[in-house]
Copies of this chain bind each other. A is one copy, B any other.
Amino acid sequence: MSFRFEIEARDGKPRAGRIVTPHGAIDTPVFMPVGTLATVKAVAQDVLEELGVEILLNNTYHLYLRPGVEMVRSLGGVQRFMAWDKPILTDSGGFQVFSLSELRKVTEDGVAFRSHLDGSSHMFTPESSIAAQIGLGADIIMAFDECTEHPASRDRARASMEMTLRWLQRSRDYFEAHKEEVPWFAKFSGQTQALFGIVQGGMYPDLRRESAERTVEIDLPGYAIGGLSVGEPRPMTYEMVDAAIPYLPENKPRYLMGVGTPEEIVHYVAQGVDMMDCVLPTRAARHGLLFTSEGKLTIKNAQFARDEGPIDPKCGCKVCGRYSRAYLRHLYASNELLAQTLNTVHNLAYYLDTMRGVRQAIILGEFATFLSGVKPPHLSVP
């Protein structure tokens, strides 16, 4: 078995589980830090290990442009390339093409786009996205989908959903024909990657249900919910998650893409989600926005200039154990590189601690109590 998912405990909809991949195991629910270009910005791999990170997300779009898929493949795949001997998940590249590239043109075949770096012309199709992801060699890879924009009319959302379903079939067909080309196929005695499908359907609950039902007709090791957190109000996000989750298999991991705040990720677990990723903790950190048990904190504020306390007195991370708010404010105000490292380490610790608390609460059957201590997430918009 290249991939398996075991549920260890349930507490209502929330599940505590374990995903096993060729590069190791992952406790779920899990928050996956984003390491765009095969690096979590400003944080070294040994520090990620100290934080207890078990899986990273890398962006196919970015690695396809730099250093290029063939380069990473020739160096043994992205785990070996970045000296991270644990699981990695790559997205399909579709979302970045939609959000970053210029002159995007979507056809049935795929998406033509220009690089945000140099304007050069490229094309992603379901086949080329999967080829790129096989070359990069992440443990979990994603079908090539169209992230429906918001707002979108019902007709537009349906058409987009239908194309995503056709693209899923093409993604799966290409993967099945080429899965043995993953760079570590021989090293891991013939193990291959796990391909996940993605539910779309815009902001229409019935389309979300239909998308889920038709996506799971293709038997895959896991399923994701995409096209959310794209500008819609948060209650609508919850509604769309609720619309899809009942139609995803109980025994497969459920991955909600691109979310959320610390409060929100707890609430998504409450809905039955197992995996999440978001740039929020890392990107916010680089802008001096820190997450704490008391809420958000903007470290540049003058009120912290003489504050000898840690970012969060309840946090056990090594940044809170050593440095004062006054020092962190000084680093940030002085534009020092160390500000970005320390702020990111704290925010990731806060997210990972939150997920560890969530998991423990599920195992103890105390998730409802845990949840009641979390602020209503629609009050905290990123």
- Closest B residue to A331 by beta carbon equals B39
Residues of chain B within 8 A of A342, CB atoms compared: 44
Residue A341 interfacial (CB < 8 Å): yes
Residue A26 interfacial (CB < 8 Å): no
Q: Tell which of A139-147, A203-211, A320-328, A355-363 binds the partner.
A: A320-328
Query: CB-CB contacts of A236-249 with B at 8 A, as 1s and 0s?
Result: 00000000000000
Residues of chain B within 8 A of A186, CB atoms compared: none
Q: A44-B342, A306-B74 are in contact. Are A66 and B333 (CB under 8 A)?
A: yes
- Closest B residue to A63 by beta carbon equals B330
**Cβ contact within 8 Å between B67 and A305:** yes
**Cβ contact within 8 Å between B43 and A81:** no
Residue A38 interfacial (CB < 8 Å): yes
The answer for the CA separation of A330 and B81 in the assembled complex, in Å, is 10
Give which listed residue, B306, B308, B341, contacts A44 with CB less than 8 A.
B341
The answer for the CA separation of A83 and B318 in the assembled complex, in Å, is 12
The answer for the CA separation of A41 and B341 in the assembled complex, in Å, is 11
Q: A75-B308, A306-B74, A341-B42 are in contact. Are A326 and B37 (CB under 8 A)?
A: no
A183 to chain B, nearest CB (A): 13
**Count of chain A residues with a beta carbon within 8 Å of a chain B beta carbon:** 36
Give which listed residue, B45, B306, B318, B338, contacts A42 with CB less than 8 A.
B338
**Cβ contact within 8 Å between B75 and A326:** yes
Q: A71-B306, A83-B327, A327-B83 are in contact. Are A337 and B338 (CB under 8 A)?
A: no
Give which listed residue, B39, B67, B306, B308, contacts A338 with CB less than 8 A.
B39
**Cβ contact within 8 Å between A337 and B334:** no
**Cβ contact within 8 Å between A66 and B338:** no
**Cβ contact within 8 Å between A323 and B46:** no
**Cβ contact within 8 Å between A41 and B336:** yes
**Cβ contact within 8 Å between B74 and A327:** no
**Cβ contact within 8 Å between A337 and B336:** no
Residues of chain B within 8 A of A41, CB atoms compared: 336-338
Query: CB-CB contacts of A157-197 with B at 8 A, as 1s and 0s?
Result: 00000000000000000000000000000000000000000
A331 to chain B, nearest CB (A): 6
**Cβ contact within 8 Å between A38 and B327:** yes
Residues of chain B within 8 A of A334, CB atoms compared: 37, 66-67
Residue A82 interfacial (CB < 8 Å): yes
Residue A60 interfacial (CB < 8 Å): no
Q: Can you list 6 contacts pairing A with B, beta carbon distance less than 8 Å?
A: A37-B336, A46-B318, A71-B305, A81-B326, A82-B327, A341-B341
Q: Which A residues fall within an 8 A CB radius of B?
A: 37-39, 41-46, 66-67, 71, 74-75, 81-83, 305-306, 308, 318, 322-324, 326-327, 330-331, 333-334, 336-338, 340-342
Given contacts A41-B338, A75-B324, A83-B323, 7 further A-B contacts (CB under 8 A): A37-B331, A41-B336, A44-B342, A66-B334, A81-B330, A83-B322, A83-B327
